[in-house]
Structure 1
Amino acid sequence: MAAYSSIVDSFAAHNNTMPLLRFITFLLLILSVQTSYGQSSAELKKRKDAINREIESLKKTRSKIDKNKKLSLSQITLLNAQIKLREEKIGTINSEIKMLDNKISTNTSEVKALQSDLSRLKKEYAKMILFAFRNQGAYNKMMFVFAAKDFNQAYMRLKYIQQVGKFRKSQAKYIETTQVTLKKQISILDENKRQKSDLLSDQLNEKQTLGKDKNEQSKILNNLTKQEKTLQAQLAKKQKEASSLNNAIQAAIRKEILAAQRRAAEKARLAEQARQAKLAAAAKAKATTTAKTPTPAAATKPAVKPASGSSVLASSPEDAKLSSSFMGNRGRLQKPAQGIVTQGFGQYKYKSNVTLFNPGINIKTAAGATVYAIFEGQVSQVFMVLNNYAVMVRHGEYFTIYSKLRSVSVSAGQKVSTRQAIGTVANDPSDGISEMQFQIWKGTKPVDPSGWVR
């Protein structure tokens, strides 16, 4: 009876709902970690797949150029873009590996915790079964109930006896569920390790391919350097094109600034006239009432000077609102055309003594791809640069420029909306590449578009 009392009292002291609550909490933790991992992993895999598609597209374009047996700067540009994409892919793989390492560590801890819990549960269950076998008779149970101090304790002991059987069954089910969960977690852990092994293999292959691409890049550069005349002609063409476009953009912006200054000056002049007229009327009224000389005009406040420089472009309420709205969408604007960015913003070195500044980003597209305005605004100017069109759209103090276009569907002074088609991309007859250039200017200074478009 003492033994039976001990096991039942132990059962009474042990809250049988706590293991179940801990188990449910444990399962929810596992599910939440797996869901978070799944979402992040899916995003990384999606980006990696996109990079693979872009690399294949660049390889096909380079293959077409190589068939022409002509060395060109376009080969270097495309190969540089391909190298950059491979480096980004390696970075993405590294992120996946890091996530898997964290997941493997978490799963290993979960498996160890489940194994420890399962071992403890089995030991407790074994003791319970052994005791039940030794106390199959009803005598000990009845003696345990009758040995109670009072009726309430006897009733409680009777209820405990009834619940022992149920508890043993629930523990058996709990052990079974824990075993299933443990098996599942071990399977997931094994899959994580396999995925990491595949990623490490993929990473090694990408590094080897990256090395080959860089060797090819060096080879093409050496061949171009040997063909000095060809290289100089291509560089001269690029410089002429960049200079012509830059001059046209600056001239158009200066024109916009002058027009805005004239409007601001006229507005200030009219405001000053109205103010002086108001002061004169007030002085006349005072002279009539008091018969005194009116206050001299010199005592009045001076007129407010209109804004100067590029800030005048956002001096009107409408332009200020448009500038603020454009700025507020930074990082969320879509690219002006579907394609791959082959060259970014900044200085690019082609020879030891030759560097070119790219004031925007170059986007390789499909032949005749449609170009869209990235934000609402007004077309400032449409101009020709080396037989191709360029469109400049004003957004208050900001300007977006879309160049290397075969055709345009807008005209100067026209209002455009976000994602409105404004033209199509031209095809370079020398290498067959369809590529547009996109720029963003704030007043008279170009800014890096990569921080604006997603």
Structure 2
Amino acid sequence: LESKRIALKKEINKIKVYLDNTKKKERSLSNEVKDLTQKITTREELISTITDEIDFISDEIASHTQEISTLEKELEALKTEYAALIYKSYKNRTNDSQLLFILSSDNFYQGFQRFQYLKQYTQYRKSQGDSIKYKAQTLQILNDSLAAKKISKQDLLDEKKYEQEQISSEKEKQETLVKKYRQKKQKYIAQIKRKQREERKLTLQIESLIRGAIKKSGNKTKNFALTPAAKALSAKFSSNKGKLPWPVAKGLVTIRFGKQPDPIDPKLTIESSGVRIATNENTKARAVFDGKVLAISKNPQNGILSVLLIHGNYITVYANLESVMVSKGDQVKTKQALGTIHTNRITGKTILKFQVWKDDHKQNPANWVYKM
């Protein structure tokens, strides 16, 4: 729970840095609401995690309190018993009386038994003293641990209160922005439709390139015909599912894979063939796995570039690049730079469009990339 809380706080900080980096630019209302919605969602998840952590610590405090109560009773009983032993020993405190007790035996066997009794009695008294010492030390450790847990719980309660105040402020701002959106709804819907057309156009372009490559491989089906080397690379790629590195050194997913409600107007549906990752200006897109450059495509209208890498029968796509550093047919290594991601000069946003395909079937990148 603690590691999840720390990860969520880092995610919120990433969103904050990203917002700070773009706030001086002319940002559209839709982008502003989307970014704020993502921040609120992440903060709500953080509050939920903090609540779970508080509940967990509360259970530990209750358990420790019960242990301390039981231990205190046991310690008190030991002390009472030990005091009686000491008093009894005091009454028979001289070595002469112990020696006389042994020598007054009727026979050797009785004397030996009395000697053993005195020896065991002394050992028992010592063990009782050791038990008292051990339980007292254990009690001190539990009390210290309890005090630390109470401090941790209070810190978490303070953190939860702060996050709740922040989310309240952000929701007020979100509501204000949504009211503005309602006044410009038709313009926003037109923007969404335009972006969806661009998304479909990019997807069709990628599908065409992949199907062309499948046909070229000599297979009449929708799957690649693989050489032994390509089969080995494909198997290696598949075995790294969920462990692939991010296609950027630092980034934040702003749009996820598949159909999803629009963050501003839930009645609208947006569909993404991959993920969109916001990052810093001049960031390089990098290969998530060893492979070969299958194709480099260029949008004739704006000059934006896309790089397709092939890994056996898997394809990874790196779209929205303003320049590339590789050529078709090049062999590339994991984390090798492929090109510079385009920055929109109006919004100030630097977005990488990243996709994963198996043959001509789209995959969810979040299932492949580590902690995406």
Please state how far the C-alpha of 1:387 moved relative to its aligned partner: 2.9
SS of the equivalent of 1:109 reads: helix
Are the structure 2 counterparts of residues 406 and 110 from structure 1 closer, same or farther at C-alpha, using a change threshold of 3 Å?
Answer: farther
Post-superposition CA distance 1:200-248 (Å, at most 9, x none): 3322332343344334334323323322464245324412321221121
Q: 2:207 aligns with which of 230, 250, 253?
A: 250
- Say whether residues 1:46 and 2:6 are aligned partners: yes
One-letter amino acid of the structure 1 residue matched with residue 188 of structure 2: L
Are the structure 2 counterparts of residues 48 and 226 from structure 1 closer, same or farther at C-alpha, using a change threshold of 3 Å?
Answer: closer
Question: Hey, what does 1:220 align to over in structure 2?
Answer: 177
Q: Distance in 1 between matches of 2:353 and 2:163?
A: 29
Task: For CA contacts below 8 A with separation 6 or more, give which structure has more relative contact order.
Answer: 2
Are the structure 2 counterparts of residues 315 and 146 from structure 1 closer, same or farther at C-alpha, using a change threshold of 3 Å?
Answer: same
SS of the equivalent of 1:64 reads: coil
Post-superposition CA distance 1:133-187 (Å, at most 9, x none): 2222345423442465764663454255356456545543542343233123112
Q: Distance in 1 between matches of 2:327 and 2:255?
A: 28
> Which TM-score applies when normalising by structure 1?
0.73
One-letter amino acid of the structure 1 residue matched with residue 257 of structure 2: F
Q: Distance in 2 between matches of 1:356 and 1:399?
A: 23
Retained in 2: the 8 A contact 1:404–1:437?
yes
Q: Distance in 2 between matches of 1:153 and 1:74?
A: 97
Question: Hey, what does 1:122 align to over in structure 2?
Answer: 79
Question: Hey, what does 1:384 align to over in structure 2?
Answer: 298
Superposition map of 1:288-299 within 5 A: none
Please state how far the C-alpha of 1:82 moved relative to its aligned partner: 0.9
Question: Hey, what does 1:64 align to over in structure 2?
Answer: 24
Superposition map of 1:19-98 within 5 A: 41=2, 43-61=3-21, 63-65=23-25, 68=26, 71-98=28-55
- Number of equivalences: 365
> Which TM-score applies when normalising by structure 2?
0.87
Q: Distance in 2 between matches of 1:94 and 1:87?
A: 11
SS of the equivalent of 1:142 reads: helix
What are structure 1's unaligned runs of at least 5 residues? 1-39, 265-306
Question: Hey, what does 1:28 align to over in structure 2?
Answer: none
Q: 2:163 aligns with which of 192, 203, 206?
A: 206
Question: Hey, what does 1:275 align to over in structure 2?
Answer: none
Q: Distance in 2 between matches of 1:162 and 1:76?
A: 82
- Say whether residues 1:309 and 2:222 are aligned partners: yes
Please state how far the C-alpha of 1:73 moved relative to its aligned partner: 2.3
Question: Hey, what does 2:322 align to over in structure 1?
Answer: 406
Are the structure 2 counterparts of residues 427 and 117 from structure 1 closer, same or farther at C-alpha, using a change threshold of 3 Å?
Answer: same
Are the structure 2 counterparts of residues 144 and 220 from structure 1 closer, same or farther at C-alpha, using a change threshold of 3 Å?
Answer: same
Superposition map of 1:3-18 within 5 A: none
Q: Distance in 2 between matches of 1:214 and 1:87?
A: 11
Are the structure 2 counterparts of residues 218 and 316 from structure 1 closer, same or farther at C-alpha, using a change threshold of 3 Å?
Answer: farther
More helix by share: 1
Greater CA drift, 43-52 or 444-453: 43-52
Q: Distance in 2 between matches of 1:445 and 1:408?
A: 25
SS of the equivalent of 2:297 reads: strand
Question: Hey, what does 1:13 align to over in structure 2?
Answer: none
Question: Hey, what does 1:295 align to over in structure 2?
Answer: none
Retained in 1: the 8 A contact 2:292–2:329?
yes
Q: Distance in 2 between matches of 1:148 and 1:451?
A: 85
Post-superposition CA distance 1:311-366 (Å, at most 9, x none): xx154322222222111111111111111112211223344664220121111111
Retained in 2: the 8 A contact 1:364–1:436?
yes
Q: Distance in 1 between matches of 2:66 and 2:198?
A: 62
- Say whether residues 1:145 and 2:102 are aligned partners: yes
Superposition map of 1:165-184 within 5 A: 165=122, 168-169=125-126, 171-184=128-141
Are the structure 2 counterparts of residues 130 and 358 from structure 1 closer, same or farther at C-alpha, using a change threshold of 3 Å?
Answer: same
Please state how far the C-alpha of 1:102 moved relative to its aligned partner: 3.5
Retained in 2: the 8 A contact 1:62–1:75?
no
Please state how far the C-alpha of 1:197 moved relative to its aligned partner: 2.6
Q: Which has the larger radius of gyration?
A: 1
One-letter amino acid of the structure 1 residue matched with residue 243 of structure 2: R
Question: Hey, what does 1:347 align to over in structure 2?
Answer: 259
Q: Distance in 2 between matches of 1:173 and 1:229?
A: 81
Q: 1:362 aligns with which of 276, 296, 299?
A: 276
One-letter amino acid of the structure 2 residue matched with residue 360 of structure 1: G
SS of the equivalent of 2:241 reads: coil
- Say whether residues 1:323 and 2:234 are aligned partners: yes
Retained in 2: the 8 A contact 1:55–1:85?
no
RMSD: 2.7
Q: 1:439 aligns with which of 343, 355, 363?
A: 355
SS of the equivalent of 2:293 reads: strand
SS of the equivalent of 1:392 reads: strand
Q: Distance in 2 between matches of 1:453 and 1:430?
A: 30
